[in-house]
Amino acid sequence: MAFLPEKHKSLFPILPLLLLFYVPLTCLCQSTNSSSINATTNPPPTSSNGTSLKGVPGCATDLNPIYRYLCDRRAAWGIVVETLATSGFLFSIGLLLALLLWSLCICISSRNQRSSIGATVACMSMYLLATAGIFAIAFSFIIRLTPQTCPTRVFLFSVLFSLAFSCLLARCLALLGYAAARGWGEPALALGLSTVQVIISTQWLIVVLVRDNKPCGYSQEEFVMLQIYVLCLLAIGLIFALHFLHRSCFTYSYSYTGALRQQSQTQAALLFITLLLSACVWVVWITMLIRGNPEVGHRPQWDDPVLSIALVANGWVLLMGHGLAQIAFFCRGEARSKDVPLSFAGWTSPSADIPGLAGPKEGKENGSYESDSENRRGRRTEKSLRSPYESGFAVTNIDHNKDYTIPRPQTTNYTEPYEDY
């Protein structure tokens, strides 16, 4: 552990996660440090207004220095993060457009499914917009901190992550069957949870911009404190995803078998993995920003690369773990649920092996059955009423001259019944 002093043993439990960030940063920023040393010893000539980048490979000489890491080939981390962020942004927008076109085609083809897919499309659209925004704000950390990029860093960082994690939490609640997340309650719940972070970020941004007449004068510890609500959303979503994974894998039901059970297990696993990897990314960048960079002596130089890499890494986790997979599940489910005529070919009766029940029935076994082919419905050939519960003789055969009353016992001595005693 040569890059960590011996006295900083508190970082050893999360050392495998830190290596995921420190190894790329060491490789990508080594040229940046060497170029800054060379610039200190032999400063390149600049113009009178200080906007010249003469001597920086890949950048124009009249480019503003705040955009240096977008084109500096010696500082490779900026170009790598820029490429990954651009591809992730374009991929997210492409998925969003494909989702909207697919849902539009479904609404046109079958009007009865408009209300059922509207809520799902709305929630997934918000999630993809949040993911695309996460890729987009990575450029504000590649560009140096200025009064123009400060509001973007402070406000959009927490708001976009809160919207993405709120959509994941609402999806977990919807799959668990909570009434608050059914139908249009799912996008409404996600939007309501993210609105709380909008209020928090707005108030904090106003305080930061006007405090002590120092615009953007905040520390990294204060920036991490701003993300407390986002961390709560991430933790709650991870708990519900674990609960859903446990229920889908270890709960058996006769109405919850086959392909439906397999799809539910896959969705639960992807949700849990997405939130778990996101939690790992957040633990790493918070640890490095607060303790790692100052203790290894790279506090000002590595803060922006750490946040940029964290944004791109978490964006790809959100996009591949839930965005692409959820759209695949949605399109596959809607394709299977199209109106198809029912076919009873191959159906067997559970009592087919009982003798006398396997043959075709004509309906003559039922006394009250009449075939429409023989007699028209509503007309009868017999004038007398017949019932399956009547006796063997018909009512029309009764002789009215006969007495059908039940005989009663007769007595001759009814005036004095006890005279013989």
pLDDT digits 0-9 by tens, 351-380? 444 455 455 555 555 555 455 554 555 555
What integer pLDDT is reported at residue 210 of this predicted model?
72
Residue 43 has pLDDT above 60, yes or no: no
Q: Which carries the bigger pLDDT value, residue 407 or residue 103?
A: 103
| Residue 10 placed within a domain | no
Are the beta carbons of 118 and 298 closer than 8 angstroms? no
Weakest mean pLDDT among 105-109, 144-148, 232-236, 367-371: 367-371
Report whether pLDDT(145) > 50.
yes
Q: What is the crossing angle of helices 157-176 and 114-136, to 10°?
A: 150
Q: pLDDT digit string (tens) for 243-288? A: 999 888 877 655 555 667 788 888 899 999 999 999 999 999 998 8
326 confidence band (pLDDT: 50, 70, 90): confident
* Band of residue 37 on the pLDDT scale cut at 50, 70, 90: very low
Percentage above 70 pLDDT, the chain = 62
pLDDT (average), residues 120-127: 92
Q: Share the mean pLDDT of the chain.
A: 74
Which one is predicted more confidently, 374 or 94? 94
Please, which pLDDT band fits residue 46 given cuts at 50, 70 and 90? Answer: very low
For position 284, what pLDDT does the model report? Answer: 92
Give the range among 77-86, 117-126, 144-153 with minimum mean pLDDT.
144-153
Within a domain: 348: no
* Both tokens assigned to 116: 């059922």
Which backbone phi and psi does 250 adopt, to 5 degrees? -120, 5
pLDDT digits (tens, 9 = 90+) for 216-252: 777 888 889 999 999 999 999 999 999 999 888 877 6
Q: How far is residue 34 from each of residues 37, 64, 310, measured CA to CA in Å?
A: 5, 21, 24
The pLDDT assigned to 364 comes to 52
- 166 in a structural domain: yes
pLDDT for 353 equals 47
Average pLDDT of the residues in 67-93: 88
Rounded to two decimals, the pTM is 0.69
pLDDT recorded at residue 192: 94
Pick from 45-49, 60-64, 86-90, 230-234: least confident: 45-49
pLDDT above 90 for 215: no
Q: How many domains does the chain have?
A: 1
* 244 burial level (CB within 10 Å; 0-12, 13-18, 19+): buried
What average pLDDT does the segment 155-173 reach?
A: 94
Going by C-alpha positions, the residue among 233, 227, 226 that lies closest to residue 192 is 233
Q: Do residues 145 and 312 touch, judged by C-beta distance below 8 A?
A: no
Give the domain extent around 313.
58-251+261-337
Residue 144 has pLDDT above 80, yes or no: yes
**289 — pLDDT class (breaks 50, 70, 90):** confident
* Cα(314)–Cα(172) distance, integer angstroms: 19
pLDDT at 195 exceeding the cut of 80: yes
> Is residue 156 situated within a structural domain?
yes
Residue 44 confidence (pLDDT): 37
| CATH code assigned at 73 | 1.20.1070.10
pLDDT at site 282: 95
pLDDT at res. 420: 56
Could you give the CA distance from residue 186 to residue 169 in angstroms, rounded to a whole number? 9
Query: Does pLDDT of 80 surpass 70?
Result: yes
- Domain assignment present for residue 195? The answer is yes
The whole-number average pLDDT for the span 176-182 is 87
Q: How far apart are CA 362 and CA 346, in angstroms?
A: 21
Does residue 286 form part of some domain?
Answer: yes
What are the pLDDT digits (tens) for 374-399?
455 555 555 555 555 555 555 556 66
Tell me, yes or no, whether 347 lies in a domain. no
- Give a yes or no: residue 270 inside a domain: yes
3-state secondary structure the chain: CCCCCCCCHHHHHHHHHHHHHHHHHHHHHHHHHHHHHHHHHCCCCCCCCCCCCCCCCCCCCCCCHHHHHHCCCCCHHHHHHHHHHHHHHHHHHHHHHHHHHHHHHHHHHCHHHHHHHHHHHHHHHHHHHHHHHHHHCHHHHHCCCCCCHHHHHHHHHHHHHHHHHHHHHHHHHHHHCCHHHCCCHHHHHHHHHHHHHHHHHHHHHHHHHHHHHCCCCCCHHHHHHCCHHHHHHHHHHHHHHHHHHHHHHHCCCCCCCCHHHHHHHHHHHHHHHHHHHHHHHHHHHHHHHHHHHHHHCCHHHHHHHHHHHHHHHHHHHHHHHHHHHHHHHHHHHHHHCCCCCCCCCCCCCCCCCCCCCCCCCCCCCCCCCCCCCCCCCCCCCCCCCCCCCCCCCCHHHCCCCCCCCCCCCCCCCCCCCCCCC
Averaged over 203-211, what is the pLDDT? 79
Please tell me the predicted confidence (pLDDT) of residue 329. Answer: 83
**343: its two tokens:** 């076919």
**pLDDT for residue 221:** 87
Q: Above pLDDT 90, what percent of the chain?
A: 30
